[in-house]
Amino acid sequence: MDPVTVIEGCAIATVDAQRTEYRHGHVVVRGNRIEEVGAGDAPAPDPSARRIDGRGCLLTPGLVNTHHHLYQWITRGLAVDSTLFEWLRTLYPIWAGIDEDAVRIAATGALAVLARTGCTTTTDHHYVFPRAGGDMLGAEIAAAREVGLRFDPCRGSMDLGVSTGGLPPDRVVENLDDILASSAEAIARWHDPSFGSMLRIALAPCSPFSVTPELLRESAALARESGVRLHTHLAEAIDEQNYCEQVYGCTPAQYMERLGWLGSDVWFAHAVHLDDAAIAALARTGTGVAHCPTSNARLGAGVARTADLVRAGVSVGLGVDGAASNESGSMIEEPRNALLYARATGGPHAMTARTALELATIGGARVLGRDREIGSIEVGKLADLALWRLDTDAHAGIEDPVTALVLGSAPPLAELIVDGRAVVRDGVVCTVAMDAVAVQVARAQALLIAKAG
């Protein structure tokens, strides 16, 4: 008999197609599926059910993080006043020292913070594979299992070193054949396409200035042959635009279109510097975008045209990006920042609080191709749920709970449920000891900096 959990007495923002909301409602979970959603208390409750008193809380779908670099959790606070390319040139030599132990520690810390800030599903873009570094993709997969998040990691790659016109040092790039072999192995070893999967693999050559056209073409062919998704950075900064115009004679978006990298199985991180033609091409082809407002602001990369993308029909989700360009790694900050930056550039009607919440939930689910499973609170979907405490002093007097969540102070979680299992209770991660992880993170960072000399 599957265990039953009843959450009742709370406000609910279902984020379904009708934007159904309840000021006082209930959700019944059986096993890992949502069995019932409605107004008022749960009728005829199962006497064996675990009951959660949601009074003073708002229940939302779990947040979906569409872009991250987990290994960067142990390189926070560096190159804080640099452009994107300056930042990369500073950090590449440090990242060259990572290994599977460092990645496991970094990933555990970053994933636990994601959980504590409402995230139930995350992707990761791991593209640095130093020689003799060990099984780094396996290390972060193990960390995600321990923390308990639904995980869609990307097997990233770089094959264009500085000696052949790229940005990264030669010692952190791989050759094409090794990348393709490792990518095929990752898919065969880990990818689970089934409904409710806790682990799916994508392929993700890093960026136009760190990979060859051949790698982009071959990765796309392998991904499509294997039925997995494709991801890369695109149009993040003016430096990248200048690089593509000088080397390829076109914009980053035009370059990717020439290589067959637009489609409903593709999502791009950042997509800050897009013209009208590029936005139309993304919309026409069903290509998704991971909007990373906090990281873009931290690096001074610019403000993405998020409202224009949404208006054009592009699937847009949110991402915290790597912790070396977003030191807090907090998922709940992203919808707030997305809304604020959209309004700062487009006026007060550019984005609503509910649209911002949709980007963080169902929008991210669409970007990852998981919107039949997660992203909204609907019968039959997976029980990935965030119960936010809005009865704190900081939220007193904010009448609308969605406004309180998106524009108010980041609230604590009463409960975070992933696949029907509690991962956070009363603001505390249940699955790992955060204080012990913090000690490991500090030691790993010190060791990595010392290695870099």
Whichever domain contains 396, its CATH number is 2.30.40.10
pLDDT in tens, 192-201: 999 999 999 9
355 has a pLDDT exceeding 80: yes
d(CA 201, CA 153): 5
Residue 77 inside a domain? The answer is: yes
Cβ neighbors of 397 (< 8 A, separation 6 or more) are none
- How are beta strands 413-418 and 50-53 bridged, if at all? unpaired
What's the gap between Cα 146 and its chain centre? 18
Mean pLDDT, rounded, for 411-416: 98
Q: What is the pLDDT of residue 44?
A: 72
Query: What interhelical angle do 100-116 and 136-147 show, nearest 10?
Result: 30
- If asked whether residues 135 and 194 sit together in one domain, one would say yes
- If asked whether residues 155 and 207 sit together in one domain, one would say yes
pTM for this predicted structure? 0.97
Lookup: tokens for 329: 């790694």
89 has a pLDDT exceeding 80: yes
- On the CB side of 199, CA atoms within 13 Å amount to 18
- Banded model confidence at residue 257, pLDDT cuts 50, 70, 90: very high
Cβ neighbors of 47 (< 8 A, separation 6 or more) are none
- How are beta strands 229-234 and 21-30 bridged, if at all? unpaired
- If asked whether residues 25 and 128 sit together in one domain, one would say no
- If asked whether residues 306 and 164 sit together in one domain, one would say yes
Domain limit, last residue, from 367, 398, 415: 367
Output the domain CATH number for residue 190: 3.20.20.140
Torsion of CA 201, 202, 206, 208, to 10 degrees: 170
DSSP tag of 410: P
Residue 128 inside a domain? The answer is: yes
Lookup: tokens for 93: 């030599």
- If asked whether residues 47 and 174 sit together in one domain, one would say no
Mean pLDDT, rounded, for 97-117: 98
Measure CA of the first residue to CA of the last residue in the chain; give whole Å: 57
Q: What is the pLDDT of residue 45?
A: 67
Cβ neighbors of 435 (< 8 A, separation 6 or more) are none
What's the gap between Cα 13 and its chain centre? 21
Concatenate the DSSP letters of all residues of 412-447 into one string.
PEEEEEETTEEEEETTEESSS-HHHHHHHHHHHHHH
Contact call for residues 235 and 268 (beta carbons, < 8 A): yes
d(CA 267, CA 66): 9
265 has a pLDDT exceeding 80: yes
Residue 372 inside a domain? The answer is: no
pLDDT in tens, 205-234: 999 999 999 999 999 999 999 999 999 999
Domain limit, last residue, from 314, 332, 367: 367
Mean pLDDT, rounded, for 394-421: 97
Q: What is the pLDDT of residue 166?
A: 87
Cβ neighbors of 177 (< 8 A, separation 6 or more) are none
**How many helices (H) and strands (E) are present in the chain, helices listed first?**
15, 17
Residues in a beta bridge with 205: 157
- If asked whether residues 362 and 424 sit together in one domain, one would say no
> Rounded to 5 degrees, what are φ and ψ at 8?
-145, 165
Q: Mean pLDDT over all residues of the chain? A: 96
453 has a pLDDT exceeding 90: no
- If asked whether residues 155 and 194 sit together in one domain, one would say yes
- If asked whether residues 271 and 418 sit together in one domain, one would say no
pLDDT in tens, 26-78: 999 999 999 999 999 988 767 889 999 999 999 999 999 999 999 999 999 99
Place of tokens 């990691």: 153
pLDDT in tens, 299-312: 999 999 999 999 99
The number of domains in the chain is 2
Residue 374 inside a domain? The answer is: no
- If asked whether residues 31 and 81 sit together in one domain, one would say no
- If asked whether residues 245 and 98 sit together in one domain, one would say yes
- If asked whether residues 96 and 132 sit together in one domain, one would say yes
Q: What is the pLDDT of residue 29?
A: 97
Residue 76 inside a domain? The answer is: yes
Residue 1 CB coordination number (10 Å): 7
- If asked whether residues 187 and 327 sit together in one domain, one would say yes
Residue 305 inside a domain? The answer is: yes
Greater pLDDT, 33 or 170 = 33
Domain that holds residue 114: 63-367
Place of tokens 């900081």: 394
Residue 297 inside a domain? The answer is: yes
Residue 223 inside a domain? The answer is: yes
Map residue 153 onto helix, strand or coil.
Answer: strand
